[in-house]
Structure 1
Amino acid sequence: MRHDIPFAAPGQVIGLLGGSFDPAHAGHVHITREALKRFGLDAVWWLVSPGNPLKERGPAQMQRRLAHARAVMQHPRVTITGIEARLGTRYTAQTLRAITALYPTQRFVWLMGADNLAQFHLWQDWRAIMDTTPVGVLARPGERISARMSRAAALYAPARIPGRMSRTLRTAQAPAWCFVNVPMMDVSSSAIRAAGAWSA
């Protein structure tokens, strides 16, 4: 089945939220809506990944995850896409290089929860991501302190944009990142799987 290549108008600023979405849930919806508002984004794309290199167990079947994500996240400015499978990329740095080559007239902001910032230094080519793409970080339960004390946060402290200026991230030149505290929703894919509400 064809994995779509999303449409993007020239000059748009698009937030990219990557993950296995195994399964997508209300927490993903919440931070997506907050990202649109807080960072002044024109659109957000959910990049439903073929698999997470940092996780041993493979996710549920791709088409099932895409279909569920589209049922959960219904917003006119949010696109659910399996573009990584189409591009053949597995790591975020590879995906960003491919997407920016495909969309040379658009700007992209990488979005992540604070839990991902805490272990961002484990990602392949993580410094290349920070050096080329603005990053928007949204607080999640229990991860605020570890994220702010993380290796990435320390190394890129001079590039941090204050939360009160979060909407300037859309036009900032990398390296630039912004940590925003948002009303938090304590729900996770792993908890949903553990409860037996979602199975591969």
Structure 2
Amino acid sequence: MKNIGLFFGSFNPIHIGHLIIANTMVEHATLDEVWFVVSPQNPFKKQSSLLHEFDRLDLVNAAIFDNFNLKAVDVEFRMPKPSYTIDTLTYLSDEHKDKKFKLIIGEDNLKSFKKWKNADKILEFYELLVYPRPHAQPSDLKTHPKVQLIEAPMMDISATFIRKSIQSHKSIKYLVPESVEQLIIGRKLYI
């Protein structure tokens, strides 16, 4: 049975911080693959700032084209919106009986995790792989048997900063892979 880490996000756009975390998870968290689950609409984010989901999926695919341990999935595009993590986990588990899914989240999300829809069910049936985040609030979930803290570089790269840089015609070199930068420029995204 393959162990798959699910990395949910709007990836608006995907940047090197996301890629470093995903690759670290494959290397240090006994995962066979990490799947980037591109969210069409995060229930906690305003829709207006989101690039179209197919463009964001294309950016993720451009970022990971040369790493066979990473995969982009659009499963939530076909699900009722807004999509909730528990529904996606349930759907993927039913579709892929040969895979064991684990949820990758930042330590900053641990404190509010109990507010997620069916958080108790997620913890009952799935493991949480938690990577460190700057300014994360302490959480009693850190000691939960289904929560595993994974040592990873502390990343604090902001997609908002990247979008603002693009809008003010500043370089985003090194913040995103070159393939992503070329796609953003070629399609005139975020302008």
Q: Say yes or no: does 1:150 pair with 2:139.
A: yes
Partner Cα distance (1:50, 1:96) in 2:
16
The amino acid of 1:72's aligned partner reads: A
Report the Cα offset of residue 151 of structure 1.
5.2
1:45-60 equivalence runs, <5 A: 45-58=35-48, 59-60=50-51
Name the residue aligned to 1:99.
92
Q: Say yes or no: does 1:80 pair with 2:72.
A: yes
Query: Structure 2 stretches of 5 or more lacking a match?
Result: 168-188
CA 1:53 to 1:186, structure 2 compared with 1: closer, same or farther past 3 Å? same
Partner Cα distance (1:191, 1:121) in 2:
29
CA 1:124 to 1:151, structure 2 compared with 1: closer, same or farther past 3 Å? farther
* 2:106 alignment partner, one of 101, 106, 113: 113
After superposition, the C-alpha distances for 1:66-107 in whole angstroms (9 at most, x for unaligned) are: 111111223111111111112446100111111111111211
What is the alpha-carbon root mean square deviation over aligned residues? 1.9
Report the Cα offset of residue 196 of structure 1.
3.9
Partner Cα distance (1:193, 1:96) in 2:
30
Q: TM-score scaled to structure 2, two decimals? A: 0.80
* Runs of 4+ residues deviating >4 angstroms: none
Percent of matched pairs sharing the same residue: 29
Name the residue aligned to 1:25.
15
Partner Cα distance (2:103, 2:92) in 1:
12
Query: Structure 1 stretches of 5 or more lacking a match?
Result: 1-10, 160-175
* 2:32 alignment partner, one of 35, 38, 42: 42
1:118 match: secondary structure? coil
- Aligned pair count reads 167
